[in-house]
Chain A
Amino acid sequence: MSFPKYLKTLSGLLPAGAVGASMILAASAPASAHEEPAASTTPKARVSERLAAIRDAVSEVSNEAATQQHASPMLAWWNGGFFFRPWGNWDNWGNGWRNWDNWHNYWHNW
């Protein structure tokens, strides 16, 4: 999947917020790791490249949303509900210890 496709997909997905995005994506989750991707028949790029392209697309979508947040109640909610800026204030994008779960911390920020 290319950056423009990620951009288009994510610009539709991200405004649903964390819970909404999860619900939408669950419907497209393949049952098996061996299922052919439904949206593309081209060979997959490397995982690292796919992840980097998605981050680029998320930044693009969120920057655009930030400039429009006063124009749309949905985007205003999204900006506070899924992401918030500046990124420098957010220090919780990390791996945690699996024998615990800090969902309270996650939810404070979501």
Chain B
Amino acid sequence: MTGELPKIQLLVVQPTPFCNIDCRYCYLPDRSSKAMVASETLCNLFTRVFASGWAREWLSVIWHAGEPMVMPIGFYRDAFRMIDRLKPEGLLVTHSFQTNGTLINDEWCEFLREEHVNIGVSVDGPQRFHDLNRRTRSGRGTFDKTVAGIRLLRRHAVEFHVISVLTAASMAAAREMFDFYVSEGIERVCFNVEESEGDHVSESLGGEEAGEAYYRFLSEFWRLSAANPGKIAFIREIEHALKMILRPKEANFYNELVEPFAVTSVDHLGNVATFSPELLGLKNPAYGDFIIGNVNRQSFAEMAESPVLAAMKRDIDAGVALCHERCEYFSVCGGGEPVNKLAENGSFISAETAYCRVHKMRGMDLVLDAIERLSPDASHGWHAARGGELREAIGLPAAE
């Protein structure tokens, strides 16, 4: 690699591939393996990350796994202290878990709060949607345990958000989804439409109707949230689209999923992959297992010279160039998601995917349409008529 130094922003760590449940749409092939990371491997990982100088100012560490909470609390306590000892002065390291919530107990809540760990809980909405896909190995639904975990987080005042995978059925039930989140005190929500990754082929992304269904869902959910202030504080897809669309032309913009090492993923053996985290664990004739090195044997500078990385970067860059040439949404996307291009189109050297059409484009369309339906006079008049009400709703002091 040549030119500017990479910047590692997101470090996705899989301390074990094991997951205690067996979701129907999971893309991780080794989720039954109970292997665990060795403390030496973990130490090598962070030593090498910090030695690279590629983690600058801040670094988000996501303990993703499998299910991160199958590892004991003591494992994380030791790991966090080790990272504190190793990290350069001035570097802010934040820790996050993405969990199915089924193993959350009082001890976990105390630990998460003490350590300021950011928590994302995977819950797909009401039981009739959640239990269709999020099941144990014996086929039982996991809704009750996940919701019990969410209630414990709330009782212990641990901040969290949820990620919900949307299917055709749940996209047709925005009101029911909204009511569920409100009833459980869930204030921050993120939506993923079930997608094709690895060996999993989505049943929800096919055809033009999926895009329209997603647009309708998001629109209704957004309007319900605005009409009920104080219930849903954050809808990732709306916030993201607003941020991308309403940005000044001078603002920097990039797609971290097509930048080498911006998102770096490491498995329990110390194997390293980059670009889309889902690639770690997959196999492909052109790129093998997508592994560009191992923290037990190589520095990050050495991994940057990996032939696998070079081949991936060449092809991902070519795919981004196609997006730039063809896609109307390039300025708010930056070249799509490599793992979806590979899964859906069979090649990184490709542009639009069904995932783009549904999840990205329709979300942007919704916000664009809302801006254009807001008449110039209305946006000013709204302030005149409801400015005080708005300021109160969002916690601002009254205007002088």
Looking at the assembled complex, report how far the CB atom of A75 sits from the nearest CB atom of chain B, in whole angstroms: 11
Q: A48-B328, A97-B257 are in contact. Are A12 and B379 (CB under 8 A)?
A: yes
CA distance A39 to B375 in the complex (A): 5
Closest chain B residue to A82, Cβ basis: B246
Pairwise interchain contact B375-A95, C-beta atoms closer than 8 A: no
**Residues of B with C-beta under 8 A to A21:** 242, 246
Q: A48-B330, A97-B256 are in contact. Are A12 and B380 (CB under 8 A)?
A: yes
Pairwise interchain contact A15-B383, C-beta atoms closer than 8 A: yes
Pairwise interchain contact B248-A58, C-beta atoms closer than 8 A: yes
Closest chain A residue to B94, Cβ basis: A104
Closest chain A residue to B330, Cβ basis: A48
Pairwise interchain contact B248-A1, C-beta atoms closer than 8 A: no
The majority secondary structure among interface residues of chain A is helix
**Residues of B with C-beta under 8 A to A87:** 248, 250-252
**Residues of B with C-beta under 8 A to A102:** 10, 60, 96
Pairwise interchain contact B263-A93, C-beta atoms closer than 8 A: no
CA distance A14 to B376 in the complex (A): 12
CA distance A12 to B255 in the complex (A): 30
- For the complex of A and B, list the 10 residue pairs with the smallest distance between their C-beta atoms, beginning with the closest: A12-B379, A26-B226, A8-B376, A12-B380, A47-B328, A55-B249, A87-B250, A59-B248, A25-B370, A29-B370
- Between B98, B234, B374, B378, the greatest number of chain A beta carbons within 10 A of the residue's beta carbon is seen for B374
* Choice from B190, B249, B374 contacting A101 with Cβ under 8 Å: B190
Pairwise interchain contact B372-A22, C-beta atoms closer than 8 A: no
Q: Interface readout for A13-52 with B: 1 if CB under 8 Å, 0 if not?
A: 1111111111111111111111101111000101110111
**Residues of A with C-beta under 8 A to B399:** 73-74
A67 within 8 A of B: no
B269 within 8 A of A: no
* Choice from A22, A83, A94, A96 contacting B238 with Cβ under 8 Å: A22
* Choice from A9, A27, A96, A106 contacting B371 with Cβ under 8 Å: A9
Looking at the assembled complex, report how far the CB atom of B173 sits from the nearest CB atom of chain A, in whole angstroms: 15
Q: A51-B331, A97-B10 are in contact. Are A56 and B249 (CB under 8 A)?
A: yes
**Residues of A with C-beta under 8 A to B390:** 16, 20, 23-24
**Residues of B with C-beta under 8 A to A22:** 222, 226, 238-239, 242
Closest chain B residue to A33, Cβ basis: B215
Closest chain B residue to A46, Cβ basis: B328
B152 within 8 A of A: no
* Choice from A5, A90, A98, A100 contacting B10 with Cβ under 8 Å: A100
Q: A28-B374, A33-B215 are in contact. Are A95 and B334 (CB under 8 A)?
A: yes
**Could you list some 26 contacts between A and B, CB below 8 A?**
A8-B376, A12-B376, A19-B394, A22-B238, A26-B222, A29-B373, A30-B366, A30-B369, A31-B216, A33-B216, A39-B378, A47-B364, A52-B331, A54-B246, A59-B250, A73-B400, A90-B251, A94-B253, A94-B256, A95-B255, A97-B277, A99-B98, A100-B120, A101-B120, A103-B236, A103-B239
**Residues of A with C-beta under 8 A to B64:** 99-100
Pairwise interchain contact B370-A9, C-beta atoms closer than 8 A: no
**Residues of B with C-beta under 8 A to A91:** 252, 254
Chain A residues bordering chain B, tally (CB within 8 A): 70
What range describes how many residues of B lie at the interface? Answer: 35 or more
**Residues of A with C-beta under 8 A to B246:** 10, 14, 21, 54, 58
Pairwise interchain contact A51-B161, C-beta atoms closer than 8 A: no
Pairwise interchain contact A93-B244, C-beta atoms closer than 8 A: yes
Kindly identify, within residues 117 to 173 of chain B, every residue whose CB is under 8 Å from any CB belonging to chain A.
118, 120, 161, 163
Pairwise interchain contact A30-B379, C-beta atoms closer than 8 A: no
CA distance A9 to B382 in the complex (A): 11
CA distance A19 to B391 in the complex (A): 10
Closest chain A residue to B391, Cβ basis: A20
Closest chain B residue to A73, Cβ basis: B400
Looking at the assembled complex, report how far the CB atom of A99 sits from the nearest CB atom of chain B, in whole angstroms: 7
CA distance A28 to B382 in the complex (A): 11
Q: A9-B376, A94-B334, A102-B60 are in contact. Are A18 and B239 (CB under 8 A)?
A: yes
Pairwise interchain contact A25-B374, C-beta atoms closer than 8 A: yes
Q: A32-B215, A34-B212, A87-B248 are in contact. Are A77 and B161 (CB under 8 A)?
A: no
Looking at the assembled complex, report how far the CB atom of A41 sits from the nearest CB atom of chain B, in whole angstroms: 11
**Residues of B with C-beta under 8 A to A12:** 376, 378-383
B365 within 8 A of A: yes
